[in-house]
Chain A
Amino acid sequence: MQPMLDALVSILFLGLAYAMVLYIVSVGLSLTMGLMGFVNLAHGAFAMAGGYITVTLMNAYGVPFGLALVAAFVAVALVSAVLERTLYARLYGAGELEQVLFTIGLIFMAGAIVRELFGPVPLPVHPPAILSGQLSLGFRTVPAYRAFLIVVSFVLILSLWLGIERTNFGARLRAAVDNRRMAESIGIDTALLFTVTFALGSGLAALGGGLGADILAIYPGYAVEYLVYFLMVVAVGGLGSIRGPFVAALLLGIGDTACKYLVPEFGAFFVYIVMIGLLIWRPAGLFGRA
């Protein structure tokens, strides 16, 4: 009984941490897609950038973990806002194919740049000393960093949800996602809303990349390799939804971890099969609008 309980706790912890990282990275993509209808496949590149900035600041310049994360968030948010105004905005009316091609081009460029700057090998990640090692929960110990990740993620996510539910900005965002033309006609500046939302989503992705450097390795292929996971979370969750991708991330994160643990040989497949099955059942996503 005890080994099984042990295994369960391990799976839940790892899976939950993984899920949180996936969610924090992907929620921005869900918002962008739902709000602007823009297929931004390059979203993972912002997470990758966040990871590179965070880890490099810590490793090469000795910047404290928290500060490095904030720097990553701000830097990526600013850069993404500029990109949005100058490039993305030109393609808002364009077809889906153009948006896909454009963002693939961006992924290729981003991957090549980081490879040139940092080399092809995944960055070594050293969590700050107070967060490494094991944390005692009384009946057993768990990796301290994972625990920290879970707690910080919950705080981030709650702030995000409260922000969207309670603030003026959040209200405008929800209105514009629901019905953009209506929102414009009651005076909401959707262009500004787009830029701010895009920057927020990209910044969050950067945070996710930095926080989750331990789980999703930071290397030049990051944006390509994990693209399918981010897309799955958003598609299964439902575009434009905040809660939907959370549930999807939990399913994917915990499910993937569990399957890989329990059935190492074929574990990786189950997640795809479950996700594909869910999409056959609900093509618009679990919480999406049909």
Chain B
Amino acid sequence: MADPIITALRQHRLRWIEAVPWIIGLGGYYAFSDQLPFASQILITILFALSLDLVLGFAGIITLGQAAFYGTGAYAAGIYAIHVSHEPLSGLLVAAAAAALVGVLTGLVILRTRGLTQLMLTLAFATLLAEAANKASFITGGNDGLQGIEIDPIAGLFRFDMFGRAGYLYCLIVLFCVWLFLRVLLASPFGQSLVGIRENVTRMHAIGAPVAGRLLITYAIGAALAGVAGGLLAQTTQFVGQSVLSFERSGEIVIILVFGGIGRVYGAFIGAAVYMIAQDQLAKSEPEFWNFWIGLILVLTVLFARGGILGLIDRVRGL
């Protein structure tokens, strides 16, 4: 008789296979020691994709403007490092807070709408922010980008070196913390209520769930996480270019998540790794035509493989 309860409680337990990404991550530190800056970029992209998964995969909000929060975090961390303090961890907090603030303000508007209007607003806000960053060149560096970001050693001990070693471990640890946070959040009653909202919002209203408020909180958390990713970017590359707020960045992270699989958490890991590595390899030969292949794969994914790579894996396992 207790079986169903145990089954339900064990639904979200950690499985052994979930250690694999971290084993790869740690192993990569040694195996790819000459490509650590690139590997750090993959980690940052995974984090960015996770933030989108929360918003898109779990809260069900289709957004073409997630880069607004990524860019806000990047600029916030960069400006903080230049004008306030070189300490990295507080810089990440500032990045998260700034992005969360933008998330709350824009979320209040966006979540009142739905459909095309909502989508358009996510795009409009990101474009607006990009325009603002461009105009405020006295603080953002405008077209030239934000330069001269210096970061102190983490916790006073680990200096950022030009081989990217400390940077890589820094990104890995931050990614681990965020992943753990998301895992707990999504398994919690709060996280499960998001699933309920996605499955049947009418019934959620009827059982007393404050849907609007919950979606806003989720949107803000997603924004904060994207901000952390942007902050990591600023701190590890010590540069923030205008492209952090671009539609290309927003579109790209949506594509990455779709490739990997939406609403699966690990879709972000797989999608980001596959995309970045493929881009690195293929774009060397034909950098501009890369967009064509991306577009084509996206079209094919939508038509034939809606669950992304994880979806395909599921189908193969079901055979």
Contact = CB atoms under 8 A, between A and B. Distances in A.
A–B touching in complex (CB under 8 Å): yes
B298 interface: yes
A232 B132 contact: no
Contact of A112 (B125, B289, B299): B289
Contact of A272 (B127, B251, B255, B299): B127
Contact of A109 (B64, B113, B120, B296): B296
A276 B123 contact: no
A104 B306 contact: no
B3 to A, nearest CB: 35
Given A116-B289, A269-B128, A108 B298 contact: yes
A107 B250 CA distance: 14
Contacts of A275: 124
Interface in B32-79: 56, 62, 64
A39 B135 contact: no
Contact of B302 (A91, A115, A232): A91
Contact of A111 (B254, B291, B301, B303): B291
Contacts of B262: 97
Interface string B297-311: 111011100100000
B284 interface: no
Contacts of A284: 117
B4 interface: no
Contact of B299 (A100, A109, A268): A109
A69 B106 CA distance: 41
Nearest to A282: B117
Contact of B292 (A33, A109, A239, A285): A109
A282 B6 CA distance: 49
Given A111-B291, A269-B128, A276-B109, A285 B117 contact: yes
Contacts of A162: none
Contacts of B290: 112
A21 interface: no
B275 to A, nearest CB: 13
A105 B299 contact: yes
| B contacts with A: majority SS | helix
Nearest to B288: A115
B112 interface: yes
A208 to B, nearest CB: 19
A113 interface: yes
B55 to A, nearest CB: 12
A281 to B, nearest CB: 11
A91 B300 CA distance: 12
A279 B132 CA distance: 21
Nearest to A234: B116
A280 B121 CA distance: 10
A102 B302 contact: yes
B115 interface: yes
Contacts of A268: 131
Contacts of A109: 291-292, 295-296, 299
B154 interface: no
Contacts of A105: 294-299, 302
A197 B255 CA distance: 29
Contacts of A115: 288, 291
A283 interface: yes
A87 B109 CA distance: 34
Nearest to A40: B116
Contact of B116 (A94, A108, A231): A231
A227 to B, nearest CB: 7
A96 interface: yes
Contacts of A94: 302
B258 interface: yes
Contacts of A224: 247-248, 251
A140 interface: no
Contact of B288 (A87, A97, A100, A112): A112
B119 interface: yes
Nearest to B306: A98
Contacts of A112: 288-292, 295
Interface string A258-290: 000000011011001001100110011100000
Contacts of B116: 33, 39, 231, 234-235, 239
B303 A104 contact: no
A109 B251 CA distance: 13
Nearest to A230: B120
A27 to B, nearest CB: 15
A262 B236 CA distance: 41
A159 to B, nearest CB: 27
Nearest to B251: A104
A106 interface: yes
Contacts of B296: 105, 109
B292 A100 contact: no
Contacts of A101: 254-255, 258, 298, 301-302
Given A224-B248, A269-B132, 7 more contacts: A87-B303, A104-B251, A108-B292, A112-B291, A115-B291, A231-B124, A276-B109
What 3 A-B pairs have minimum CB-CB distances, sorted nearest first? A108-B295, A105-B298, A112-B292
21 contacts: A39-B115, A96-B119, A100-B62, A101-B301, A104-B64, A105-B297, A105-B299, A108-B298, A112-B288, A112-B291, A113-B292, A116-B288, A120-B288, A224-B247, A224-B251, A227-B123, A227-B247, A228-B127, A266-B135, A268-B131, A279-B113
Interface of B: 56, 62, 64, 109, 112-113, 115-117, 119-121, 123-125, 127-128, 131-132, 135, 247-248, 251, 254-255, 258, 262, 288-292, 294-299, 301-303, 306
